[in-house]
Amino acid sequence: MKRPLVGLPFLLALSLLLLPLGTGSAGAAEEPYVIGAEDVLDIQVWDNKDLNQVTFVRPDGKISLPLVGEIQASGKTVQGLSTDLVAAYGKTVKEPAVTVIVREIKSRPVYFIGGFGKPGPLQLTRDLNMLQALGILGGVLPAADAEKGYLLRGGKRIPINFETLVKKGDLSQNPRLEPGDTVVAPIADVVYVQGEVKGPGVVKYTNDLTVVKAITLTGGLTPLAASGRVDLVRTEGEKKVRIRIDLDKMLRAPEDNPDMRLRPDDIIFVPQRLF
């Protein structure tokens, strides 16, 4: 019989103190933040309050501003974008002074799904390894199978044994996390529904469970849901398979777009609609 991770908060705290935060040398200068899609920016044009804007970076990496129109933001540092905006506003505003503030970081998520103390997305605002993330999330719950965790990265499924990581300090199970990673602490016979649904979390698996039924069991979509680009993520062996689902078409014309039957451990992502 598998025992739960006993004394997990203490073990995590101790391990976090013993493990280095990064691979760089001590005292190395921190890399400037690079803006990404979905980040929320506060653009301030001094002495021109009418031009101040809080805006988000679109999926194509651009933002839209008065007098400037569209300008590329993704891939630039805050200083780099500020310099470009000074040049752009300088065509119509005399000697503009522009400040760019990253109000919210939303472009660097790691998704933690299943049996964690506080599951959900975690934005990478600094270098973070698996053990450090567990400390932030409150560890792995006893209901999860801690020995059979896994990390989804790119098209790969990477096994993670949380048990040996926490109890034995097995650093081979402690990868550095990257934006877009999905980490799963599996719970037996469930499907995971995340994102813009009213009650994100786990749904008990049954043989007749489908995408529409699973979303319905979480309370349905929120008003911000991008229902036309839902992702179903499942693993086949050591590979990650991502299936794009147009839920709108599935509901409007079920004869041509039949509902999809789910498997245990399937993950449904409902993204946020971008305005």
Same-domain status, 128 and 199:
no
Round the average pLDDT of the chain to a whole number and report it: 89
Co-location of 117 and 253 in the same domain: no
Give the chain's radius of gyration (CA, Å): 22
Do 97 and 215 belong together in one domain? no
Query: Are residues 130 and 232 located together in one domain of the fold?
Result: no
Contact between residue 186 and residue 235 where contact means Cβ atoms under 8 Å apart: no
Domain boundary among 76, 104, 132: 104
Both 172 and 212 in one domain: the answer is: no
Q: Looking at residue 163, which CATH number applies to its domain?
A: 3.10.560.10
- Same domain for 258 and 197: yes
| DSSP, residue by residue, 147-170 | GGEEEEETTEEEEE-HHHHHHH--
Overall number of domains in the chain: 3
Picking from 185, 207, 230, the residue at the C-terminal end of a domain is 185
Cβ atoms 44, 93 nearer than 8 A: no
Residue 125 has pLDDT above 50, yes or no: yes
What's the pLDDT score for residue 238?
84
Helix (H) or strand (E) holding 56: strand 53-56
Is 250 a member of any domain?
Answer: yes
- 177 and 57 within one domain: no
Q: Are strands 62-65 and 69-72 parallel, antiparallel or unpaired?
A: antiparallel
Domain that includes residue 175, residue range: 8-21+108-185
* Opening angle at CA 74, ends 70 and 77, nearest 5: 110
Q: pLDDT tens-digit profile of 92-103?
A: 999 999 999 999
Asked whether residue 79 falls in the same domain as residue 181, the answer is no
Asked if 95 and 135 sit in the same domain, the reply is no
The tens digit of pLDDT for each residue in 165-196 reads 999 999 999 999 999 999 999 999 999 999 99
pTM (2 decimals)? 0.79
Residue 231 in domain: yes
Q: If 0-12 CB within 10 Å is exposed, 13-18 middle and 19+ buried, where does residue 16 land?
A: middle
Q: Reduced to 3 states, what is the DSSP secondary structure of residue 211?
A: helix
* Domain shared by 254 and 194, yes or no: yes
